[in-house]
Amino acid sequence: MSRLFDRKVALVTGAASGIGRATAIAFARVGAAVVVADADAQRGAEVVHYITESLGEQSLFVAVDVTDPDSVERMVRTTVSHYGALDCAFNNAGVSDKSSSLRVSTQDNWDRVMSVNLEGVWHCMRAELDHMLAAGKGAIVNNASRSGLVGVPSDGIYGAAKHGVIGLTKAAAVEFASKQIRVNAVCPGLVETALTQARFGDDLVPRSRLANPLGRMAQPEEIAEAVVWLCSDAASFVVGVALPVDGGATAR
């Protein structure tokens, strides 16, 4: 997909680390101007620096709180004001649920996970769709999860949010396909990021050997490649898909 995104603008939320960082860089490698959106200004600026200085591509950091609709609308307005377009968006910002069972989960667990992982995607989609409808085209990918496709005992609240993301994705896909806006989702399995390391600690490596038929964790770059493909013209007839990128975990 070399240079397939020349003169295109891609927006990535949660782009300061993990899957978001890898996806921002992947978009830049194929020629896109990339808006790095995150609540972490320092690490977000580091991603922008890498894209502009090491890759020689255009990039801009925008601070965003995806739980705040005004902040999200400013993010999209800044993107369009700075680059004149918004062609692709990856709604990736998310948090994990640290409770191990529904029985020990709390209202705080629920509120935090839902406000970022589900409501945040809703805020982002509404703001992005407003511009894409005016432009008459666009591609959106939402970050769901394997936990949005199947029941995972330790992921009750997180899984509920990710099932909701898939529901939003499919509804928007059907509603806006006739407007030439494609909406899809990726559903990663276990990915080697700081977020998963913080959650599982020393249990992460042995867990990864059992997580899927490949017997390993994904690297963030492997998820990023799927996102970029879904946003590209190579996926021009792909609409409303919740794509597992999980090493075969949901195939068992």
Which domains occur in the chain, in start order?
9-251 (3.40.50.720)
Distance CA 94, CA 143 (A): 8
> Is 142 within 8 Å of 99 (Cβ atoms)?
no
Task: Provide the annotated active-site residues.
Answer: 158
- Return the closest-CA partner of residue 35 out of 96, 4, 81, 1: 81
Q: 153-177: per-residue pLDDT in tens?
A: 888 999 999 999 999 999 999 999 9
Query: Alpha-carbon torsion 114, 38, 131, 185, what sign?
Result: negative
Per-residue confidence band for 202, with pLDDT thresholds at 50, 70 and 90: confident
Supply the pTM of this predicted model.
0.96
pLDDT of residue 203: 81
